[in-house]
Structure 1
Amino acid sequence: MRSRRRHPLLVPVLLCALAVLAARPTDITDTGGGSGNGVGAEVAQLYEDAAETAQQYEEGQRAAEKQRAEVQRLERLLDREREQIAVLNEDLGRIARAQYRSGGGLPLTAQMILAEDPEELMRGQRAVWQADLAVNNAIGKSRRAEARLAADEAKAAAAWQALERRNTELAELKQTIERKLQAARSRLQGQADASVAAGSCPGAVRLDQSGAGHTREWVAPLESYDLSSSFGSGGERWANRHTGQDFAVPVGTPVRAVGAGRVVKVACGGPFGIEVVLQHAGGYYTQYAHLASAAVDQGDRVGPGEWIGQSGSSGNSTGPHLHFEVRVTPSLGSAVDPVPWLDRRGVAL
């Protein structure tokens, strides 16, 4: 099984993204009074919220890991600085012991009286003073560096801990959204099953199309998916051979028009459950079946990448997926393999 997943290339600055998320309401109101429109829009919104929260959580995890690495780097520098100070203190101790052994405990006047060569004594004394001064200066410099590193380490650790706390909050928010999404999916699928059983469509679930359009002429019918049953495969679920390509996705996933076209059919009964059929230039048709809702009405014109419905498991289906067909007529029985058909149009599944 192959999969294709696309992710946004531009990730918002973490703190700005977190602020936006915090300002957004997480409780979705069903404005449709329990209608399919309300639940479908709720599922679509929850999908966006879940994706946004997951993206921010992943970005937060990367930022926290980077901050943790900075803390560890500062800790290593601080350890080395402290080791240097210990070495310098040992050097200072050796100088002091050398002074004591050479009579450094006596006043300088007494040392000069007792010395056989006072000039040699003075030269040695100056060397000791210079060494003592150099070591003291080095120790002072290292102490200042140690203080700066300790302050930087404390700031980095505080930032790391703040990121970890925020990541915990994001993880909890993500779980809350996912629970709401699961419940909304169940309601949406239940309404789809009821529509199929009644053989009547409730009307288009008009989804927010912001960001749904595409600049390319042809696209895949889903943004993220796992490929499952392929064209021509056999199985007890089909009378002959499988007439399309299946995409395994959760209930409520936005389904996209693969190219510009006109809606020639929206149906809500039979083995395909809720289905949409589009007519494209060149005499080809594409079918999107087993939907949980349709976002278009017959006669609508759509562009490539425009949302035309939400995936589901309506009709003769054993689990949530999109059944996608390419046909030379709008009717069943004229299907061609959709994978090479899309590949010739620059879409590799």
Structure 2
Amino acid sequence: MANFKYKARLRSDWLLENADGIEMSMADVLRLLSAIESLGHLAGASKACNLSYRHAWGLLREAEKQFEASLLETSRRKGTKLTEFARRLLWANRRLEARLTPTLESFASELQEELARLYSSSIERLRLQASHGFAVEGLMRLANEKEALPLELRYRTAVEALASLQRGDCDVAGFQLPKGQHEACVLRAYTEYLSPEHHRLIYLSTRNTGLFVEAGNPKGIEGVADLVRPDVRFVNRQMGSSTRYLLSAILQQLQLDSGQILGFETTELTHMAVAAHIASGMADVGLGVETAAWRCGLDFIPLAQERYFFACHIERIESGALEPLLSLITSLAYRDYMDNLVGYDAQGIGQVLTLQQALATSWSSTLE
């Protein structure tokens, strides 16, 4: 059995348990709240969630009973909207999903690999390691729809992925580099794992990276220099992420002390988690990709453009082992997906480059 008619999936779900030990799943309640937020009335939300109006109403009333708080505000003129409690509940769940999604997807990929080993005729899977992002997320979605391209995914930071590639623990490693003045500084974190004699780079896209702030920018934040203000709360990305390297390069250029940034040690693992953190009011500003800010209704202050690459060994390219991946990257379906990502530019997608071609003077300067 070379190809599988099923895919392993893991989803997050949380329960409310009362004093009597009775549990209530929040899955349908949260789906309803999200639909009401979008549509403005319970009838449409019920239909969108494939629930009867009566059942949806009962779920929300039971949730209100458990929380001892109202979830909906109803008006004849304005329809139905969420209470502040319900909005915060919804954002708490969105933060949870943003945090757990990379981990669950990695575990699902590992589970799929374990299941594949149960069949003697299972085919070899291409091992991909990369940080969680919208370009990789879309690529994996398309790969899962094509039985001819089985991918084993592990979400890792750029440094972790490149180190795995160097050790031979993966076939393809994703990493990002800012264009312009900060490229050489960030590249220094990666040079020990990359070799012009052994590696090639597959170009994926360019993306806009900048600061996320609350809609309307109530704190009047203009740039990274404002992060040291005592009234500004920051949420960071984890150590080893390309976004954090970019921030360090900018702080170094501006001669700013990270110890003066309130919340510098508060970290999230994905761009969406950073955006959800800010949208829920837990921080005033964070750094990430424009797509996440747009999806969470935040304002975006551009700071840099980053190029996204997949690194691989030359022999994997020359042997044709990566041809299915390259075909998927350059496919019309993936191009269409990338063209609809806010803040991404996929012109030139799928080009195979030497390190010197891709990095030009930055590569030489890091070796000096």
TM-score tier, shorter chain, comes to: under 0.3
Name which one, 1 or 2, has greater alpha-carbon Rg: 1
Question: What is the TM-score with the length of structure 1 in the denominator?
Answer: 0.25
Question: What is the TM-score with the length of structure 2 in the denominator?
Answer: 0.24
